[in-house]
Amino acid sequence: MGGHPGNTPGDAAEFDGGTSRPSAADGQAPLFGAGSQFQEFFNDPRWALAIVRATVLEAAHPQIGAALIDNSTFVAHPWRRLRNTLRSLQRMFGDDEQVRIREAARLNRLHARLNGTDPRGRPYSAMDPAARAWVVATLFESTVTMCRLSGQPLEQHAMERLYAEFQAYLAAMGEQAGQLPPTLTEFWSYYDHVVQQELENTEAMQIILYRLFDHLPAPALLGGLPTLWATGRAVVGPLLGAITVASLPEPFRRRAGLPEVPGAQTLMQGAYLTVGLARFLPDGWIRADAIADLLALSPDSDDPRARAVTALHDRVRRAGALIRLITPLPPQPEPVSRTGTERSAEEFFREVLDQTGDGYLDWPDLAAMARELSTRLDLDEPEETRLYNAYADWWRELQSALDTDGDGRISAHEYATAVPSLAGPALIKVAEVLFDATDQDGDQQIDADEHRTLFRTAFHRDTAGTVRTYTRGAFIGDFLSFMSGRRRSTAYDPLFAQA
């Protein structure tokens, strides 16, 4: 991969007050918001490749890899994870300082709940300062590498500015100075050390590189077109994996024993160059958040764009029928109706309860539900803790009733065999806490705006004429019907079941 670009000591930016970050008051562009280097890259289509690469490098860190395996929903719900990540980055790098402070506090509360022990007995914590710094380092370095691989390497001053912005991002999270080196020159030595000495061929990294790409579930937009999605994934999945492996630092590829497809380097550079051509489309045509929202849009959504999506679905479904005739792919299952019909116990376990996708129900799965709801409602303390505690009580109730072999988790077989009624006191408490958190004005009703806040799957939703006012009893009844009756719901399925 060659040496690091632009690490000349004499070209370092001027720093202020010993903070290791350029001042926004010295006539340069701001560190956050409009005019920052980050904002220029956020909607760059090449950044999709860079984010995948950065995620692989993050997962190769032992602490981060263990936290992902035990707690993350990236396997079962990758598209939801992507939307939440983009939304968080928008908040952190936006113009509004109060939004940034609020988001940083939310992320810190989220990370403080992620800790445990990996299979080798080593403790991990998502609040570990070195691990948090490595996440930021991979985003910065992958952005620099993205530009280099696409034939447009960053000039030294632009690289300095971008590094300062990511340092400011880490500082906004409350980390003390020194977790990232103060200068760009020192950063490259730090980066090489971590790559060569600390990264491992973790299970999380293997899943992202091979299992995730090869078995990536369809986004909501293409959820009813299994044959078409399987055809595209069969081609794109292995290519994306090969491109990502080829872009990783060579010392780590060798040490981790990652196989490299012949010609992968050429393929990788061609991919970055080709994707980069989309930058020349008119302004506004490519927006990362809009694309993520569109992928989450299902035909039965109440979003006004759904009408166009429905028409597109009809056309693509016909194409899918043709592909099914001419391709050797094995038959794909027909899409399941999402119109409120019953789902089997196995489907409910897989689609709703097993949020982490490891085949078992345990506390991280229910914590993921609480995390998603807290994010949707933008909860602060103490409402967030109250919701987590309600889910913890429900987990203890489920474990006591269903964990027949005493291994601390519930298998799909244990769940399906028991055929339980889940509407016990603890689940009712979850519903009550969720109602109180959604009913922000405290009038004991959930109006259209409050309903939209909880159930939207995109930034812009038109729910006029589709949302009735919820009383406490009606809201709790619908929630219990979904969680215990295993009925599909156009409101709750996007929250818990969509990928």
> Over the stretch 81-114, which tens digit does the pLDDT of each residue have?
888 888 899 899 999 999 999 999 999 999 999 9
Same domain (yes/no): 57, 156: yes
Same domain (yes/no): 374, 286: no
Report whether 487 contacts 422 (CB < 8 A). Answer: no
pTM score over 0.85: no
Same domain (yes/no): 95, 220: yes
Q: What is the pLDDT of residue 292?
A: 58
Same domain (yes/no): 384, 481: yes
332 domain-assigned? no
> Over the stretch 431-487, which tens digit does the pLDDT of each residue have?
999 999 999 889 999 988 888 888 865 433 344 444 568 899 999 998 988 887 677
> Over the stretch 179-195, which tens digit does the pLDDT of each residue have?
899 999 999 999 999 99
Q: What is the pLDDT of residue 102?
A: 94
Same domain (yes/no): 118, 263: yes
Percent of the chain clearing pLDDT 70 (strictly above) = 76
The Cα 485–Cα 343 span in angstroms is 9
Same domain (yes/no): 269, 408: no
Mean pLDDT, all residues of the chain: 81
Rg of the chain on CA atoms, in Å: 23
314 domain-assigned? no
325 domain-assigned? no
161 domain-assigned? yes
Same domain (yes/no): 291, 370: no
Percent of the chain clearing pLDDT 90 (strictly above) = 46
Mark residue 410 as left, alpha or beta (left: phi above 0; alpha: psi -120 to 50; beta: remaining). beta
309 domain-assigned? no
Nearest to residue 64, comparing CAs of 168, 203, 252? 203
The Cα 485–Cα 494 span in angstroms is 17
* Domain region containing 120: 1-295
Same domain (yes/no): 67, 200: yes
pLDDT-based confidence at 239, cuts 50/70/90? Answer: confident
Residue that finishes a domain, picked among 256, 278, 295? 295
Residue that finishes a domain, picked among 295, 310, 327? 295
Domain of 429, CATH number, reads: 1.10.238.10
Mean per-residue pLDDT, 332-347: 61
Residue 495 has pLDDT above 80, yes or no: yes
172 domain-assigned? yes
For 68, 305, 369, 483, the CA distances from 363, given in Å and listed in that order, are: 14, 37, 10, 16
Lowest mean pLDDT among 79-93, 183-197, 299-313, 339-353: 299-313
**Other Cβ atoms closer than 10 A to 402:** 17
Nearest to residue 220, comparing CAs of 288, 300, 329, 165? 300
Same domain (yes/no): 450, 384: yes
> Over the stretch 374-433, which tens digit does the pLDDT of each residue have?
998 889 999 999 999 999 999 999 999 899 899 999 999 888 887 655 678 999 999 999
Q: What is the pLDDT of residue 179?
A: 86
pLDDT-based confidence at 339, cuts 50/70/90? Answer: very low
- Structurally, the chain folds into a number of domains equal to 2
Same domain (yes/no): 190, 283: yes
Residue 227 has pLDDT above 80, yes or no: no
Same domain (yes/no): 200, 52: yes
183 domain-assigned? yes
412 domain-assigned? yes
Report whether 472 contacts 444 (CB < 8 A). Answer: yes
Same domain (yes/no): 239, 355: no
Q: What is the pLDDT of residue 273?
A: 85
Report whether 172 contacts 19 (CB < 8 A). Answer: no
Angle between helices 363-377 and 425-438 (to 10 degrees): 20
Q: What is the pLDDT of residue 10?
A: 33
Q: What is the pLDDT of residue 277?
A: 76
What DSSP string runs through 73-139? -TTT-HHHHHHHHHHHHHHHTSS-HHHHHHHHHHHHHHHHT-EEE-TTS-EEETT-HHHHHHHHHHH
